[in-house]
Amino acid sequence: MAEPLLMPENEDGLRFQARSPGFMRRTRLVNGLLGGWSIVVGTASLVEAHLVSRLGLATSIPNLRGCGITAQEVQDLVQEVLAEEGRLPLVLLLDSVASDQGRQLMRTLRRDQNNLQIVLLVQDDRWISTEALAACQAQAIVHVQSFGTGTLIRALQDLRRGQRFQDPRLQERLQEQLQPSTSMELSNREQQTLDGLVRGLTNKQIALENDIAPTTVRDYVSSLCGKLKASNRTQAVGQAMALGLIRQQLKPGTNTASGSGTAQG
């Protein structure tokens, strides 16, 4: 019977000890799964890019073609592999590669080469939402906190089968984000601002209604987004609704949080 891929909870500290049997076994599995692809990596971190390239040299991995630290460098590496080998590489993208977590880069790569396979490695999951996951152009999405548990192996196995993969940890994080928090407290001004956002008011309208400056409203919107882990006012309203922070009923036909961008003037 095959050995389980997942680490027992009491052995979690051994996940990355190079001489532990579990780490060596998972490493062999990952290397075997990656062996059929040329690999291109993308990250905004110079340290990570340096270590990835050094790793390729130190371990003599001929299929590791390089690591880009900008979107253009990643695109160039993909085209270089295609021109030299006549086949598409596997792209491993860390969400640090760009301020939009690489979403535009993935759209561009998939537009140019629809069959390109991309694995998105999530380091900062604060941008994760149901909508973001649904729109993601990566065939596999893995949270880096899942490294060493067999999750990456499962992702690569699914890619080999032509299937998509989404790390269960991401859904767990979404559920955690939507759970009511006893520590979630809004100031009176934040609540007034939220009430205005729910009714679709602009910052200027909220300011006039509450006799404060529009710039102050802007700051309260920013504070709300931070507390609710939202990237814009529309997401803030959605999260507030999920957490039961809306203190008034919407009137029929109300356009909630008009404008999907960040703070409006």
Please check whether residues 174 and 209 belong to one and the same domain: no
In a domain, 1, yes or no: no
Q: How far is the C-alpha of 56 from the C-alpha of 92, rounded, in Å? A: 14
What whole-number distance in Å separates Cα of residue 227 and Cα of residue 262?
15
Same domain, yes or no: 138 and 198: no
CATH number for 206: 1.10.10.10
Summarised one tens digit per residue, pLDDT across range 180-225 is 454 578 888 999 999 999 999 999 999 999 999 999 999 999 989 8
Any domain includes 199: yes
CA–CA separation, 191 and 106 (whole Å): 37
Tell how far CA 183 is from the center of its chain: 25
In a domain, 219, yes or no: yes
Tell me the whole-structure pTM to 2 decimals. 0.64
140 lies in some domain: yes
Question: Which residue in 49, 6, 19, 253 sits closest to 153, CA to CA?
Answer: 6
Do the beta carbons of residue 153 and residue 33 sit within 8 Å?
Answer: yes
The span from the CA of 233 to the CA of 219, in Å, is 12
In a domain, 107, yes or no: yes
Residues 215 and 168 in one domain: no
Same domain, 24 and 51: yes
**CATH at 79:** 3.40.50.2300
The yes-or-no verdict on residue 9 having pLDDT over 50 is: no
Q: What percent of the chain is predicted at pLDDT more than 90?
A: 47
Same domain for 89 and 46:
yes
Residue 3 lies in a domain: no
**Domain boundary, last residue among 178, 208, 224:** 178
Does the residue 2 lie in any domain?
A: no
* Same-domain check for residues 190 and 174: no
At 260, is the pLDDT very low, low, confident or very high (cuts 50, 70, 90)? very low
- Looking at 160, 178, 196, which one is the last position of a domain? 178
The span from the CA of 124 to the CA of 128, in Å, is 8
Burial class (CB in 10 A: 0-12, 13-18, 19+), 244: exposed
140 and 189 share a domain? no
- Location of structure tokens 């909220």: 206
Instruction: Say yes or no: 44 and 103 in one domain.
Output: yes
Which range of residues forms the domain containing residue 119?
A: 9-178
Do residues 87 and 188 both lie within one domain? no
Q: Which of 178, 202, 229 is the last residue of a domain?
A: 178
Same domain flag for 96 and 187: no
* Helical segments of 95-247, H only: 103-112, 130-135, 151-160, 168-178, 188-198, 203-210, 214-227, 233-242
pLDDT greater than 80 at residue 251: no
Q: Does 164 lie in the same domain as 98?
A: yes
85 inside domain: yes
Other residues' Cβ atoms within 10 Å of the Cβ of residue 56 = 18
Residues 133 and 155 in one domain: yes
Instruction: Give the range among 44-48, 63-67, 230-234, 243-247 with minimum mean pLDDT.
Output: 243-247
Domain count, the chain: 2
